[in-house]
């Protein structure tokens, strides 16, 4: 493997790691030598991915956790440190943003969107960054969205939560420097599970420079870059992997 992407001896924790973007990151990290903690709400789904990681000769831990709830987040961190002793790479990937007109968003839905996309990642990153800073350092990757920086009618609460996540990324990068690097991936439309609800046209076209949504595997090199020594002088940054987004996903060029 390329020495810049060599993750042998590293411990990675990926939330939302049982499917979609998170699954692709888990596979990439394991392929490049990392042992991996996989977290999502469904333990059986996490166990399947953990078995896949073990088949590559890596160690893996599956943990069921709702990553928008602080009690679950704290338990997840305790389990990971009890099993592996440390975390070197944290990926805050779990998130959701069901489409709805803003006037139709209930308080419960609003709180759920903010909890999973900002509140939970804030708590998880703060717990892990503090331990990283007392140890040998580490890397945190927050998975954001193009919705944080462009108009997204029908997903306003989601876009606002992701904008907060990007602001947190910059602040954490300074708060825990120089031993902890903190960056974000701002993703455009990806053909993950959520795309099943899209129209056929939206699954084939997007209002970005590339004119299409991305396959999940197209996040891999960007994630490896931020997780590895290849980005040793990169922190507090937002790397946009959105195909050159200029309007809402699914819009025609």
Active site residues: 158
- As a whole number of angstroms, the distance between CA 157 and CA 70 comes to 20
- As a whole number of angstroms, the distance between CA 202 and CA 189 comes to 9
Of 96, 191, 103, nearest to 147 by C-alpha is 96
Residue 68 in contact with residue 39, Cβ under 8 Å? Answer: no
1 three-state secondary structure: coil
Residue 105 is encoded by which pair of tokens? 């968003």
What is the DSSP annotation of 202-217?
HHH--SBTTSSPBPGG
Could you tell me whether strands 11-15 and 138-145 are parallel, antiparallel, or unpaired per DSSP bridges? unpaired
Residue 168 in contact with residue 142, Cβ under 8 Å? Answer: yes
Of 135, 146, 17, 152, nearest to 85 by C-alpha is 135
- As a whole number of angstroms, the distance between CA 185 and CA 154 comes to 22
DSSP assignment letter at 118: I
Residue 27 in contact with residue 216, Cβ under 8 Å? Answer: no
């Amino acid at each position: 493997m390329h020495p810049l992407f060599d993750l042998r001896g590293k411990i990675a924790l990926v939330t939302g790691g049982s499917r979609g973007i998170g699954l692709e990151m888990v596979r990439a990290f394991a392929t490049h030598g990392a042992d991996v903690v996989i977290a999502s709400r469904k333990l059986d789904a996490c166990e399947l991915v953990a078995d896949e990681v073990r088949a590559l000769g890596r160690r893996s831990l599956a943990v069921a956790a709702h990553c928008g709830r602080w009690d679950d987040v704290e338990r997840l961190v305790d389990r990971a440190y009890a099993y592996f002793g440390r975390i070197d790479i944290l990926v805050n990937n779990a998130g959701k943003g069901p489409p709805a007109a803003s006037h139709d968003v209930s308080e419960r839905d609003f709180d759920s969107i903010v909890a999973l996309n900002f509140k939970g990642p804030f708590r998880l990153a703060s717990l892990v960054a503090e331990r990283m800073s007392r140890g040998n350092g580490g890397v945190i990757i927050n998975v954001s969205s193009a919705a944080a920086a462009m108009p997204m009618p029908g997903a306003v609460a989601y876009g606002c939560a992701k904008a907060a996540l990007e602001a947190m990324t910059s602040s954490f990068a300074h708060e825990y420097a120089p031993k902890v690097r903190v960056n974000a991936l701002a993703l455009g439309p990806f053909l993950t599970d959520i795309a099943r609800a899209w129209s056929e046209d939206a699954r084939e076209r997007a209002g970005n420079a590339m004119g299409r949504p991305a396959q999940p595997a197209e996040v891999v090199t960007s994630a490896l870059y931020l997780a590895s020594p290849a980005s040793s002088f990169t922190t507090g940054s937002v790397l946009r992997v959105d195909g050159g987004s200029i309007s809402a996903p699914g819009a025609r060029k």
